[in-house]
Structure 1
Amino acid sequence: MDLKPSRVQFSILLPSILTLSLSHFAHADDLFISDLALPEVLTATHLYQPPAAVPGSISTIDQELIAASGARNITDLLRLVPGMLVVPDSANLGTVNYHGSSPGQARRLQVLIDGRSVYRAGFAQVDWSDLPVAIEDIQRIEVFRGPNTVSYGANALLGVINIITESPKDTHGTLLKSTLGENGIRDWYARQAWHSDRSDMRLSLSGLADDGFDTRTDGTHFRDGRRLSRFNLRANHQLNEKSSIDWQLAFKEGTNQVNNNYHSIFANKIQPKPSEQDPNSDGQAKDYAASLRWTTAVNSQHSLSLQANAQQWQRLREWRGCEAQISFSAELNELWDISSPAQRAALSRGKFFNNATARQLDLQRWLANALSPQFIEHSCGLINENSRESRADLELQDTYSISERLRLISGLSYRYDQARSKTFLNGRQRKDIVRGFSQFEWYTTEHWLLQGGGMLEHDSSNGDSFSPRLAVNYLFTPAHGLRAVYSEAVRSPDMFENSADWRYRVHDLRPTIGQNSTGDFFISAQSSGKLQQEKIRAYELGYNGHFAQQRISFDLKVFEEKISRMISHTPRLESFNLNNNDHIKFYGSELEANWQASSKDRLRFSYAYIQDRASNTLDQQVTPPHSGSFAWLRNWENNWNSSLMYFAAQQLNSNDLQLMTLRVAKQFDLADKRLTVAGHLQKTLNNQPIGRTNNKDNSHDTAYATVQLEF
């Protein structure tokens, strides 16, 4: 698949696609039918809307695609979305980014599970491997591709990923599933549903395990396996004809393998024994979540909903390491504190520096004297990177149809976030967020739709912000529409960025240093506490069409996005200097198409052309100029079905991605039971690293089999 058309060719191609499509179908019957039974999406505005009426671009990964993909990870599904970048960040743990910027942390996407944000405000992370939801429970994934702070508050800077699980009332009976394969794959899933006159409930238990990447690109062993288990209980109760309650409990726990890659600054001066330090530093994760949503219909034009959520994320990682005893000395701690960034860079390499003050010279002479013997004393102790985050939020939403042509949605919300870490924050940080939002949908005529609104947000650590959006849609019919969108959005610095007090306090030192079994490692970092919110201004022109007779739907957009006051960084203890000095500009086009070619064949295609201009080298060369996906789903005779999917990206961190997945399945109907047996093959086609250059993605060169029983 050639993903390298010239920019001139591309600028001609997009208008041609649109012109040919409209001219070809201009006289098709469905173009002038106004009562089509169209699919609807929710994520753009909190209102159910046909795709042609949405104020932006939205992708839907439906249940058929999810099942046909055979994917074990949610991140693999998101490769189907144009412009979405899925790369390993650390070992086999994937990150998801839209359009680009540094992939180390996906700081600029809002991610929801049934309306509950799983974006960790303490450390600007979404732990995709640790989400307390199984793929088998997902009904669909809606991805709003563009800024949407107006609907979801700060951090929906580049887009929103909304994971919607299957309603308990649509789940029936028992389902058991097991997956075994190469690379240590050992997954399982069990689900049970219960129903009564007014209540429905679904319980699911699941587990996932694999060995991660086998090797790095240099051939060395990569210890990065994972093991996790999940619990999810969701229920719906119909209180009366107008009101209902939906609640959910979720839990996840697991372990991610991590090599202990720490190297002593004074490694040439100490000789620790292998038994004194841990070879590994595995991380443990425990997540808890609970949500309650009450909805009521005041009348046929007016409804209210109230949602409350509570969550906790716990990350534990502790290991024993060794360092020279002078690393914990008061003298070296003082020298670090009074040194400039350039001087600190030298100290972090165990080097001396010139142009020093009298006190710095005295301390360097002390250090030189301490390092004069061939070998010096060392101690080994417990180091940790533990953190705990918690959140509670409450949102009231009011939906009112003022007339047949005008709908209004408004709301108020309050959220409390807290993060605790002795290592990263020197204790506890918290913030309170209060939001008020309102959006309108106004059909000024049969064909013209005007939409707009804004979000006013007060963040106790970042102040006030206002994010507006204005969109105009011209609807040829409810199934075909042109759109023009202008939007603004913000991202708040996370607690670590704005309030870091990063220092490693080592416990249980052996041997002790004097009488002390605890010591502070001399390298430390502190935030200025003066960071501002990042801000984006985005422009979009697009077309969305659904041709019923031809069973084709597609979405096309051209865009320009400018992020200012950008915080670009890869957190490093020895060079921690965050600021709002960077900026980036994205422009390009995206195309997504779905064709039900026959009753047995479905084809899906996505393509993105993206150019960027970034002021910081960290944000350069991480956005592929050309990327895309292709999927073919086929139902054969005698309950056989298959899927073939292909993903490609050009120059993603200087490497090209070509990935293929194949699934073949056979269904057996056994009286009142249904048995499905499937085989899966994943293969990288060009044998290049993906994302960071030390990752060789041979974890995708694997095969596995699944057995599923429903009754």
Structure 2
Amino acid sequence: MAFTFRSPAGTQALVTLLSICYAVDEARADDIFFSDMPMVLTASRLSQSPLDAPAAITTIDREMIEASGFTEIHDLLRLVPGFLVADWPDGSPTVANHGLGDAYDRRIKVMIDGRTVNSPLWGNTNWHDLPLRVDDVDHIEVVRGPNGAAYGANAFQGVINIITRAPATEEGLTLISRFGDFGFTDNGFRINGASGQALDWRLSASRRAATTFKSHRDEDGDPKSEEAIRRTVVNFQASAQLGARDELRVHLGASDGADRRGYPPETADFSPIRTDRNRHHYLQLSWTRSFDAESDLNLQYYHQAYQVRSAWTSRAGFPVDIDVDTHRDEVELQFTRRLSPEWQVLAGAGARHDATRSPSYFNRSDTLEATYWQAFGSVTWQPLVPLRVNLGGTFEHHDYSGKLFSPRLAINYALGVDSALRLSTGLAYRAPSLMESESMQSVRYRGQIVRLFYHAGLPVDPEQVRYTELGYVAQFRELGLGIDTRIFRERYTNYIDDQVCRHNRAPRCAFAPPAGYDRSATYFLNSGAFTMRGFEFSVDWRKPGFGRAVLAQAFIDIEENGRILDQQIMTSAPASMTSLLLIKDLPQRWRLSLGYYHNHPFHWLNDGGEVSSRDRYDLKLAKRFGTLDAENEFALTVQSLTGGYGEFDENQFRAQPQVFASLKLSW
């Protein structure tokens, strides 16, 4: 494999990190794969050390979450190598991995405790509407590459698994209050049942509000859109041990809120300032029977629903609405068994039903339904003490893409007790979303279509990526140092893009217009092939009594392999991007943390635009008080110390610095 980078720093970093790879201690043959490194679940569906995982995985732990000062879950992904995050006032925040990002982050699978939360409509994640808060999260596991072998279609560029705090891990009452400029407030509580009871439970609730974007004028003097959000979130979790081998868990929650967004009165034709109402609720049930430490049976069911109500009157006097109702039900069974010291197997199957209704998006009043089923499995073979071979895959059928098979082969070789090399290769898909398959987004007036936006007039095939990666993971205990590196090559084909065509003049549409309409439409098509190469690493250094430093770095290059209609794909990833979180313990239980986030210039696709080279600095100063085991804390946080900056499209949207204080009290 040949790798090229647009930044010479990439070559230097590669040489440095590869030399570290070979500076490892001699292996201890009787304990080669065992250490006290944090266990991870998301890479393969098996609980395992990162040394054994068949894919690169980053864990954002509770200490990092608190030290970052972030109050929104999507912002935490800025700490992951290669991940891009942006907010914008006309829709949900968006997240991308190594480029290809646009307004709808539909190429990354997002889960909460194993429950998929991507929307059936676009396949994206409505980050502001997730029915949980940062304070509910224990840690986040992020697979930094395709993982279709474990989770099927749409685990295309990565998987994010948000894992909440287990009720059994805490008790008592915690109150949290944050307040700052731009009308920012965030107040909540968390109450837990007493320990040692038959039923462990936790109830949490919060209410937050903020002006996320203020209208400003661009270089031509044109006003831009604004946004203010308000959310109320309630969550309940309970777990019960039903005998020595069985555990039952129940999660349920809801989110209710409103977004005030749009353009100032003098500018808007179709989107004046309006209020979008949204509601989200879910129920998740799971049962686990444990046979031994490495063998269990798990059955999970969940139901979730999402509703949006948005309507206004255009300048031309006709009504516009974008009401959406979605429902999802999914059931999944998974079995894991250790057959012998050399062999371990995992097998499972699941089925999902999605239902979506939106007269505006589909130009029809009935409900669109889709079914999905999959069978997945993996076999892990350890023929030698230092060698593990994992072969796995997912076979599935989706209404929008037919039958797909996503395989993966991964080989892990232990260089020592706390270090290992990983070589993996495989194939993953992204199935077309409901919008890309069925949409006819229209505005009607007096029974006639007066405006047509997205129209899925042509069939599209699933996107495909073939990938190969070489990784190295190590923990140097005597130095308090952890290292995770990855070199990768990903070849994409059948990329789904959108283009504008016209029914009455060139470029003419290749499909028939709806009755009574002969103007333009935006349609979807498969638009070519390209190759992404990159190198990324993270360094996690800790010293008790001093603090911690977590560095994440990525270098990315995209090359065209065929005719691509949107040449901005080539610049959709920064050549270099960096995040650094410094945590310094100070006397008298004070703690100072500094976050630094940098990217080279790049381009968000579709609704996004150019973002220039940027350096962002965040600062948090916190004081712990009370007993040593209490979470009592007062803190002051400043986000973007150097001022406002362009976000998603620097000519359109400008994020503002944020200053807020927080107080946390626990009993």
Counterpart of 1:604 in structure 2 is: 550
C-alpha distance in 2, partners of 1:233/1:525? Answer: 39
Distance 1:475 1:27, change over 3 A: closer
Q: CA deviation at 1:7?
A: 4.3
One-letter amino acid of the structure 2 residue matched with residue 17 of structure 1: L
Deviations along 1:523-575, one digit per CA (max 9) or x if unpaired, are 46532352111111011011000111111111111111111111023899943
Counterpart of 1:366 in structure 2 is: none
C-alpha distance in 2, partners of 1:669/1:284? Answer: 41
C-alpha distance in 1, partners of 2:238/2:623? Answer: 32
Do structure 1's residue 405 and structure 2's residue 342 form an aligned pair? yes
Structure 2 counterparts to residues 580-619 of structure 1, below 5 A: 580-614=526-560, 615=564, 616-619=566-569
- Secondary structure of 1:101's counterpart equals coil
Counterpart of 2:140 in structure 1 is: 141
Unaligned runs of 5+ in 1: 268-276, 324-379, 507-515
Deviations along 1:159-208, one digit per CA (max 9) or x if unpaired, are 00000001010121000011010111111111111135321000000112
Counterpart of 1:289 in structure 2 is: 282
Report which stretch shifted further, 53-62 or 26-35: 26-35
Match of 2:481 among 549, 552, 557: 552
Counterpart of 1:396 in structure 2 is: 333
Report which stretch shifted further, 469-478 or 490-499: 469-478
Counterpart of 1:206 in structure 2 is: 206
C-alpha distance in 1, partners of 2:26/2:236? Answer: 50
Distance 1:617 1:539, change over 3 A: same
Counterpart of 2:216 in structure 1 is: 216
Counterpart of 1:433 in structure 2 is: 372
Q: Contact between 1:259 and 1:280, CA under 8 Å: does it hold in 2?
A: yes
Distance 1:571 1:385, change over 3 A: farther
Q: Contact between 2:69 and 2:637, CA under 8 Å: does it hold in 1?
A: yes
C-alpha distance in 2, partners of 1:105/1:263? Answer: 28
C-alpha distance in 2, partners of 1:295/1:488? Answer: 30
Match of 2:438 among 499, 506, 510: 499
One-letter amino acid of the structure 1 residue matched with residue 235 of structure 2: N
Report which stretch shifted further, 488-497 or 8-17: 8-17
One-letter amino acid of the structure 2 residue matched with residue 238 of structure 1: Q
Structure 2 counterparts to residues 475-514 of structure 1, below 5 A: 475-506=414-445
Q: CA deviation at 1:316?
A: 1.3
- Secondary structure of 1:244's counterpart equals strand
Counterpart of 2:509 in structure 1 is: none
Do structure 1's residue 664 and structure 2's residue 621 form an aligned pair? yes
Q: CA deviation at 1:295?
A: 0.2
One-letter amino acid of the structure 2 residue matched with residue 418 of structure 1: A
C-alpha distance in 2, partners of 1:471/1:625? Answer: 28
Distance 1:191 1:12, change over 3 A: closer
Q: Contact between 1:212 and 1:226, CA under 8 Å: does it hold in 2?
A: yes
Counterpart of 1:535 in structure 2 is: 464
Deviations along 1:367-412, one digit per CA (max 9) or x if unpaired, are xxxxxxxxxxxxx232101111110000000001011221111101
Q: CA deviation at 1:443?
A: 1.1
Structure 2 counterparts to residues 312-327 of structure 1, below 5 A: 312-323=305-316
Counterpart of 2:236 in structure 1 is: 233
C-alpha distance in 1, partners of 2:47/2:138? Answer: 16
One-letter amino acid of the structure 2 residue matched with residue 558 of structure 1: I
- Secondary structure of 1:397's counterpart equals strand
C-alpha distance in 2, partners of 1:9/1:463? Answer: 44
Q: Contact between 1:525 and 1:574, CA under 8 Å: does it hold in 2?
A: no
Counterpart of 1:509 in structure 2 is: none
Distance 1:563 1:546, change over 3 A: same
C-alpha distance in 2, partners of 1:618/1:89? Answer: 19
Counterpart of 2:87 in structure 1 is: 88
C-alpha distance in 2, partners of 1:71/1:318? Answer: 32
TM-score scaled by structure 1? 0.84
C-alpha distance in 2, partners of 1:583/1:437? Answer: 28
Q: Contact between 1:102 and 1:568, CA under 8 Å: does it hold in 2?
A: no
Q: Contact between 2:412 and 2:421, CA under 8 Å: does it hold in 1?
A: yes
C-alpha distance in 1, partners of 2:11/2:589? Answer: 44
- Secondary structure of 1:112's counterpart equals strand
C-alpha distance in 1, partners of 2:480/2:66? Answer: 21
- Secondary structure of 2:214's counterpart equals coil
Q: CA deviation at 1:13?
A: 3.3
Q: CA deviation at 1:320?
A: 1.2
Counterpart of 1:635 in structure 2 is: 585
C-alpha distance in 2, partners of 1:620/1:645? Answer: 29
Deviations along 1:87-141, one digit per CA (max 9) or x if unpaired, are 1244584210111114221110000000000011222221111111110010000
Q: Contact between 1:602 and 1:633, CA under 8 Å: does it hold in 2?
A: yes
C-alpha distance in 2, partners of 1:534/1:241? Answer: 45
C-alpha distance in 1, partners of 2:102/2:246? Answer: 43
Report which stretch shifted further, 666-675 or 464-473: 666-675
One-letter amino acid of the structure 1 residue matched with residue 588 of structure 2: N
One-letter amino acid of the structure 1 residue matched with residue 209 of structure 2: A
More helix by share: 1
Counterpart of 1:646 in structure 2 is: 596
Counterpart of 1:245 in structure 2 is: 248
C-alpha distance in 1, partners of 2:629/2:125? Answer: 41
Q: Contact between 2:187 and 2:206, CA under 8 Å: does it hold in 1?
A: yes
Deviations along 1:597-627, one digit per CA (max 9) or x if unpaired, are 3432111101000011252234242211100
- Secondary structure of 2:67's counterpart equals helix
C-alpha distance in 2, partners of 1:55/1:595? Answer: 24
One-letter amino acid of the structure 2 residue matched with residue 115 of structure 1: G
Structure 2 counterparts to residues 321-360 of structure 1, below 5 A: 321-323=314-316
C-alpha distance in 2, partners of 1:587/1:384? Answer: 42
Q: Contact between 1:658 and 1:686, CA under 8 Å: does it hold in 2?
A: no
- Secondary structure of 1:294's counterpart equals strand
Structure 2 counterparts to residues 300-319 of structure 1, below 5 A: 302-319=295-312
Distance 1:528 1:664, change over 3 A: same
- Secondary structure of 2:580's counterpart equals strand
Counterpart of 2:262 in structure 1 is: 259
Deviations along 1:214-257, one digit per CA (max 9) or x if unpaired, are 34352746431111110100100111100010110010011112
Structure 2 counterparts to residues 45-56 of structure 1, below 5 A: 45-56=44-55
Counterpart of 1:339 in structure 2 is: none
Distance 1:603 1:19, change over 3 A: same
C-alpha distance in 2, partners of 1:672/1:35? Answer: 29
Q: Contact between 2:332 and 2:351, CA under 8 Å: does it hold in 1?
A: yes
Q: Contact between 2:130 and 2:255, CA under 8 Å: does it hold in 1?
A: yes
Deviations along 1:45-82, one digit per CA (max 9) or x if unpaired, are 11111111111210000001101112111121110001
Counterpart of 1:349 in structure 2 is: none
- Secondary structure of 2:498's counterpart equals coil
Distance 1:154 1:80, change over 3 A: same
The percentage of counterpart residues that share the same residue type is 27
Report which stretch shifted further, 560-569 or 131-140: 560-569
Q: Contact between 1:30 and 1:547, CA under 8 Å: does it hold in 2?
A: no
Structure 2 counterparts to residues 54-203 of structure 1, below 5 A: 54-91=53-90, 93-195=92-194, 197-203=197-203
Distance 1:602 1:187, change over 3 A: same
C-alpha distance in 2, partners of 1:523/1:223? Answer: 24
One-letter amino acid of the structure 1 residue matched with residue 358 of structure 2: S
Q: Contact between 1:658 and 1:684, CA under 8 Å: does it hold in 2?
A: no
- Secondary structure of 1:55's counterpart equals coil
Distance 1:430 1:5, change over 3 A: closer
C-alpha distance in 1, partners of 2:332/2:492? Answer: 28
C-alpha distance in 1, partners of 2:16/2:30? Answer: 19
Q: Contact between 1:50 and 1:479, CA under 8 Å: does it hold in 2?
A: no
C-alpha distance in 1, partners of 2:520/2:463? Answer: 24
C-alpha distance in 1, partners of 2:60/2:429? Answer: 27
TM-score scaled by structure 2? 0.89
Q: CA deviation at 1:21?
A: 5.2
Q: Contact between 2:29 and 2:386, CA under 8 Å: does it hold in 1?
A: no
